[in-house]
Amino acid sequence: MDYRDAGVDVEAGRAFVDQIRNLVHSTFRKEVLGGLGGFSGCFQLPTGYKEPVLVSGTDGVGTKLKVAQILNRHDTVGIDLVAMCVNDVLTSGAEPLFFLDYVATGKLDKEQLTQVVAGIATGCKLAGSALLGGETAEMPGFYQIGEYDLAGFCVGIVEKSRMLDGSQVQIGDVAIGLASAGVHSNGLSLVRKIVSEGGFAWTDTPDILHGKSIGEVFLTPTRIYVKSVLAALQSGAEIHGMAHITGGGLPENLPRCLNPGQGIKMIPDSWTIPPVFRWLAEAGSVGTQAMYHTFNMGIGFVLLVPPQQAEQIITHFQSQDIPAYVIGEVITGTGELVSLLSGKNSKLSVL
């Protein structure tokens, strides 16, 4: 017997690396040293920093992968993988430098996984981050044929004096919400339950989704905010705090960028809830509180800024085709979001 008899095709693995080589190289920055194929990736720190701080983050895509595998569409989940990591690193004010991926599968399908890596490369280019390396594991008997799992790891850099850690946030700062591109990569286990138990097919096109299929809507990749936010910082915008709105929604993630003794008074109905969330609430009979504690509800990233800068910053993001809204104000509190579930959106499930 040999390794192939056990279900692992080493030659296919080598061929896969050759197939994705150009995709990986297309993401390289000038600081990348060497090429693809070594035991490690090497990256020279950018110049110009007095006290550089490295900021790291890691994440996956979750059960959104199941939707991609059901629909046999694999070109978007790689963008999600990058986005979930680089958006986290960004909250410290850091520029993502490089990204590493881990791909595990039951049997290596070159065409399928090349689509995945193409998405990862696209995400890296959207974030200005080099795809420095990765690992592909063929694990027969652990994953079913056609299944794969993804994990990502990102490293960024920020000047120590400019690093955001919550201490800069002040009472009276306003919260500017940046629009999400949809559900992003959180809450997909609930989405899948609603679709399966509600008797829906991923190819169905409910009227509220404006002609798009359910599968197409939920495979929309996570928005990457890196370049737009960094451009705002570089233009002199004063940003005191940032939050990436992921699992747990606004109630769990927004308080993470506050100081002790602070909360946020939300402005009811200050942004438009995208139709996909209204469909989920109605199709799954999901209560409003559960919706806000599971999904981003249309806000994917939040900035805390001085009130006198709000208009200028909103204009900046709108020029980048990212809708932005003043959604709240920092007040004295204990990490709570006040008035989040008031206004017309408190009856989300019947709208």
Identify the burial level of 45 via C-beta atoms within 10 angstroms of its C-beta, where 0-12 means exposed, 13-18 middle and 19 or more buried: exposed
Q: Is the pLDDT of residue 351 over 60?
A: no
Q: Residue 85: left if φ>0, alpha if ψ -120 to 50, beta else—which one?
A: alpha
pLDDT, tens digit (0-9, with 9 covering 90-100), for 117-163: 999 999 999 999 999 999 999 999 999 989 999 999 999 999 999 99
Give the whole-number percent of the chain exceeding pLDDT 90: 84
- How many other C-beta atoms are found inside a 10 Å radius of the C-beta of residue 235? 10
Q: Is the pLDDT of residue 194 over 70?
A: yes
Q: Is the pLDDT of residue 114 over 90?
A: yes
- Per-residue pLDDT band at 14 (split at 50, 70, 90): confident
CB-based contact 294:185 (threshold 8 Å): no
Alpha-helical runs (H) found in the chain: 10-25, 64-71, 77-90, 110-127, 188-197, 214-218, 226-234, 249-253, 275-283, 288-294, 310-319
pLDDT, tens digit (0-9, with 9 covering 90-100), for 210-251: 889 999 999 999 999 999 999 999 999 999 999 999 999 999
- How many other C-beta atoms are found inside a 10 Å radius of the C-beta of residue 203? 10
Q: Is the pLDDT of residue 308 over 70?
A: yes
Q: What is the structure's pLDDT at 345?
A: 78
Q: Is the pLDDT of residue 76 over 60?
A: yes
Q: Is the pLDDT of residue 13 over 80?
A: no
pTM of the model: 0.94
CB-based contact 74:61 (threshold 8 Å): no
- Per-residue pLDDT band at 341 (split at 50, 70, 90): confident
